[in-house]
Structure 1
């Protein structure tokens, strides 16, 4: 990756928030997000874990890095990758950073749940590591990155599992350990407004864009607003509805002509024209 791409993303996070970063599970979606002018894409463990029907708790670093590399191979969209708990202790975190940086991530998110991560976090049963354990993992991540502009985001689950004040204290410690930004999931509008005011660096949140307008997010002072929910649920809901209708003998809800029109348009979104150019240049006329 061109180092300038990461440097520009870091600069924007630090100075131009809020950057709006939607769910981005694959290269095709990344190219769509790029076409629409989004600030970046979010490759989340939750979405990948659901796609494989195994939970993000059971993902491997190889699976995550391969998914990130596939996105970056075909898109210049800045990519925030959910590194979960870093797949283990501080040594494993170092390996996680090596792999995801090499795969082309612009930013890596690491969270303070226990490792190995537990499947029950999906049903909101979470267990946090002590602050000093997480700060050790952050320091390992900082030491492992080769590009100093690779953004490291430290996420805490302390709002839900300890208290809002405890979460802020953890975030301050994570900044001191070398995190470039922090992420916390607030529980009410008051906490959402207060967190950026009380913390000394860029703050990210994980929620639906629809909660506020971009102007309101800017007024709140967030550097990154990441939406892992809207795209994922919209896509699955549309698929489920169409398949349910067809399975019961009804039309899918989209005309056949419209469906094929969308299908044909995917080749342009996927960038096949450059592949066609190669064939045109290397294939004999008439073959």
Structure 2
């Protein structure tokens, strides 16, 4: 473990306990992570769903190596706290342990695991899911917490029981997951009433996965959420803009992007990506007179 990782994880854990909700958006790569840092977001979310769409293979066919590689590419160029979606852990408890080894080593600040069956099924994208028994998920949580070397690495336990059993069953699962050692539990509510009721019925820091736009930061705090992850807005906004521009260009029309503004943004990537550090090396070693 590097000191950089351990200090960052400890700080992120402290912030989670501050009483203010942490807002964490979609973060698929290092450039986006550096943008999130600049804008002051609390962290970034490397989601399995988003990565599965980007690779056009579904989350179900991702490998642990896919996730660890993506996480390391982000961490290599950014100190933004990173929450990585570990899915179902790529198998039973022993595979969960291996997942923790890989993602912790890649620099994750938190790893999320969910209680769907393994291997994960592509049809979960069309809301056909199957949950594992509670005891099986508890075994995975214990394996995850025991596998981490850094005690400040957060283990997040997510349930799909609201959609596949009922709200009461989801609350029961989350409380049992917290008792098993999960640092944070995550609920996916079906409506505003469930979203409002869940924090008071769970004895642990609680997270949800939805659009930030449902509530203001103050409202999220009043509801009692410690962590709100938005895996949808960034990816869909980016793709919508891309599709519109390409459709226009393919039809022989202007893209809607002003060329001078597009090139300004493109050249601005150099500064956001931190290329000045690279240019300094070249100036010192390859330019005339050095």
Task: State TM-score, norm by structure 1.
Answer: 0.99
Q: Distance in 2 between matches of 1:148 and 1:110?
A: 17
| Residue matched to 1:139 | 142
Q: CA contact under 8 A between 2:34 and 2:78: conserved in structure 1?
A: yes
Q: Distance in 1 between matches of 2:134 and 2:27?
A: 30
Is 1:254 aligned to residue 265 of structure 2? no
| Residue matched to 2:21 | 18
| Residue matched to 2:221 | 218
Is 1:161 aligned to residue 164 of structure 2? yes
Equivalent positions of 1:95-244 (< 5 A) are 95-244=98-247
Q: Distance in 1 between matches of 2:178 and 2:84?
A: 19
How far off its partner does 1:14 sit?
2.1
Unaligned runs of 5+ in 2: none
How far off its partner does 1:69 sit?
0.2
| Residue matched to 1:62 | 65
The 1:267/1:152 distance shift into structure 2, 3 A limit, reads same
Q: Distance in 1 between matches of 2:225 and 2:20?
A: 6
| Residue matched to 1:50 | 53
Q: Distance in 1 between matches of 2:20 and 2:153?
A: 17
What's the Cα RMSD here? 0.9
TM-superposition CA deviations, 1:29-61 (whole Å, max 9, x none): 000000000000000001110011000100000
TM-superposition CA deviations, 1:189-246 (whole Å, max 9, x none): 1111111111111000000000000010010010000000000000000000000000
Q: Distance in 2 between matches of 1:120 and 1:98?
A: 28
How far off its partner does 1:17 sit?
2.9
Q: CA contact under 8 A between 2:58 and 2:122: conserved in structure 1?
A: yes
Q: CA contact under 8 A between 2:60 and 2:120: conserved in structure 1?
A: yes
Q: Residue 244 of structure 2 aligns to a residue in which SS?
A: helix
Q: Distance in 1 between matches of 2:229 and 2:287?
A: 48
Q: Distance in 2 between matches of 1:30 and 1:4?
A: 18
Which residue among 23, 32, 36 is the counterpart of 2:35? 32
Q: Distance in 1 between matches of 2:260 and 2:184?
A: 47
Q: Distance in 2 between matches of 1:114 and 1:277?
A: 50
Q: Distance in 1 between matches of 2:270 and 2:185?
A: 38
TM-superposition CA deviations, 1:115-147 (whole Å, max 9, x none): 000000000000000000000000000110000
Give the aligned length: 287
Task: State TM-score, norm by structure 2.
Answer: 0.98
Runs of 4+ that moved beyond 4 A: none
How far off its partner does 1:286 sit?
6.3
Is 1:84 aligned to residue 87 of structure 2? yes
Q: Distance in 2 between matches of 1:136 and 1:233?
A: 35
Q: Residue 17 of structure 2 aligns to a residue in which SS?
A: helix
Q: Distance in 1 between matches of 2:252 and 2:29?
A: 31
